[in-house]
Structure 1
Amino acid sequence: MDNYIKDRKIEADEWMPFTGLEDGSSLPSGDIYVPLEEWMQAREMLLARNGRLGVALRNTDDPGIIKDDLERLDLIVLEFPKMADGRAFSQARILRERYGFQGEIRATGDVLHDQLFYMQRCGINGYELRADQNPANSLKAFDEMTVTYQPAADEEFPIWRREPKSI
Structure 2
Amino acid sequence: MASIIKNRTIVNDDWTVVRAAEDGALPAVDALPAGKLIVPLALWQAEREALTASRSAAEIAVWLAPDSEPADIVNDFDKIALIAVDFPVFRDGRGYSIARLLRERYGYKGEVRAIGDVLRDQLTFMFRCGFDAYALRADKDLHDALKAFDEFTVQYQGAVDNPSPLFRRREAAAAAQKASV
Asked if these proteins are the same fold (TM beyond 0.5), I'd say yes
Q: Provide the rounded CA distance (Å) in 1 between the counterparts of 2:52 and 2:133.
A: 23
- Listed as ranges, the gaps of 5+ residues in structure 1 are none
Q: For residues 60 and 93 of structure 2, what CA distance do their matches in structure 1 show?
A: 25
Cα RMSD (Å) of the superposition? 2.3
TM-score of the pair, normalised by structure 1: 0.88
Identical positions, percent: 46
Shift in alpha-carbon separation, 1:81–1:29, aligned structure 2, 3 A: closer
Query: In the alignment, which of 140, 149, 163 is matched to residue 142 of structure 1?
Result: 149
Q: Determine which structure has more spread, i.e. the larger CA radius of gyration.
A: 2
2:42 to 15, 37, 43: 37
* Aligned residues of 2:3 and 2:13 also touching (Cα < 8 A): no
Cα distance in 2 for partners of 1:138, 1:122 equals: 17
The structure where helix makes up a greater share of residues is 2
Structure 2: gaps (5+ residues): 21-25, 177-181
Counterpart for residue 99 of structure 2: 92
Matched, 1:4 2:4: yes
> How many residues of Structure 1 are paired with residues of Structure 2 in the alignment?
166
Q: Distance between the aligned counterparts of 2:120 and 2:126, measured in 1?
A: 10
Q: Which amino acid aligns with 2:162?
A: E
Higher relative contact order (CA 8 A, sep 6+): 1
Q: Give the conservation status (yes or no) of the 8 Å contact 2:84–2:112.
A: yes
Give the SS at the match of 2:115. strand
**Residues 138 and 60 of structure 1, relative CA distance in 2, 3 Å threshold:** same
